[in-house]
A and B are shown apart, each in its own frame.
Chain A
Amino acid sequence: MVAAAPWADELEERLGRRIDSMHLLPGGASKEAWAVESGGERLLVRRALGGVIHEATLSLEHEFQVLQAAVEAGVKVPQPVAYLGELGGREAFAMEFVEGETIGRRIVREPPPELETQLADELAKIHSIPAERLPFLRSADVVERFEHELDSVGEPHPALEYGLWWLREHRPPPLPDVVSHGDFRLGNVVVSQRGLESVLDWEFAHLSDPREDVAWPIVRAWRFGADDRRLGGIGEVGPYLERYEELTGRSISEAELDWWEVLGNVKWGTGCLTQCRRHLTGQDRSVEYAVLGRMAAEMEYELLDLIEHA
């Protein structure tokens, strides 16, 4: 066996199978992802890092349960294999390794046809997961949630405050909470030439107004440079919303998403700042986290621009 991680023997013991090789995959801002070869099968081991992006991040044990509930609801997800407890002092679970593309910049270059409606298909199924199935999921006022997170950063950001103020002033009447993915966008879905293969990264699952998820992939940061295609840099919002309504009965207009798009920019802008703190506080030293502190300005500019044109 290749001892690629100091906890590889623990992994073999928990899985009850021999590991032929393993390697760390790129990316993964808050979790490690290891590709593990075992007896001709390829698994993905998802393991915690030292910190979290948002305060309400699920434990890997709960994330594993969300994955199981998603399978039951027919959502395309990697098959959950086993919750592994702690490996080398950090929680982990194993799931099926799904082949395909996750890099947003590559997907927007040549998006498969019908990806818009396929995103709506999966989101509709996610929003049909019964909340009783996952009693640990929490609901919170979205605006207060990000006020609180911004306070935790300990650095004043008047542009984000301006966004939060505007959101308070223009709050839409709420829709009843659903089980939401919490990070549903390009980058967290596996795409092949056939289209959407799998929905990944369930660590931010929570209960919320369905429009929080619906609007998240339209946030400019998740268009990966293809700014003119509002839905994730891959297409128009219209067919996506139509399909979502067809499946859920929830009629959401494109204009209605504007408020949630501003919220999305506050959310990711704040997320950049909190991730940067993981570096600055010494919790997880990394140049990747460090530069995120300077990236928040992009979301600040975008939200000011959106508000100007709202």
Chain B
Amino acid sequence: MPDRPTALELLEAVTEFVSTEVLPAASDHRQRFRTLVALNALGIAYRELAGSHDLVLSDEEIGEMARRIRAGDVRDDDHARLKEHVAAKLRISNPAYLERYK
């Protein structure tokens, strides 16, 4: 284990710096927009590293399922498994998005 700060603590530090110093100093809409996008990217990386995310499907299963469905071979439980898998991805990339379906 390297010395502290940990990877998560470094991400936190950068996020704090960007939101308290870079964002308020953004001089125009374009810069402000891109800074918000950058903060979003930092948030995704943070959630991915911080949580233990069960993605439902392994990389092998993802590849196999994609090929099989393309070939027209769809199974009864594909839909439910995919929805769970995609929900797990969203809990990393945009947890608030899932709230829109409640």
Contact = CB atoms under 8 A, between A and B. Distances in A.
Interface of B: 28-30, 33-34, 37-38, 40-41, 44, 57, 62-63, 65-67, 69-70, 72, 74, 78-79, 82-83, 85-87, 89-90, 92-94, 97-98, 100-101
A9 interface: no
Interface in A270-310: 287-288, 290-291, 294-295, 297-298, 300-301, 304-305, 307-308
Contact of A162 (B40, B79, B87, B100): B79
A156 B30 contact: no
Given A161-B70, A301-B90, 14 more contacts: A24-B30, A147-B70, A156-B65, A158-B78, A159-B86, A168-B72, A287-B38, A291-B44, A294-B92, A297-B90, A298-B94, A301-B97, A304-B83, A308-B79
Contacts, number: 89
A156 B101 CA distance: 25
Contacts of B44: 291, 294
Given A291-B44, A294-B44, A158 B90 contact: no
A294 B33 contact: no
Contact of A304 (B65, B74, B79): B79
Contacts of B62: 156, 158
Contacts of B74: 162, 165
User: A interface, by DSSP: helix, strand, loop or mixed?
Assistant: helix
A24 B65 CA distance: 44
A222 B100 CA distance: 14
B41 A301 contact: no
A288 B34 contact: yes
B80 to A, nearest CB: 9
Contacts of A300: 82, 86, 89
Interface string A24-47: 111100000000000000000000
B94 A305 contact: no
Nearest to A307: B79
A157 interface: yes
A269 B81 CA distance: 19
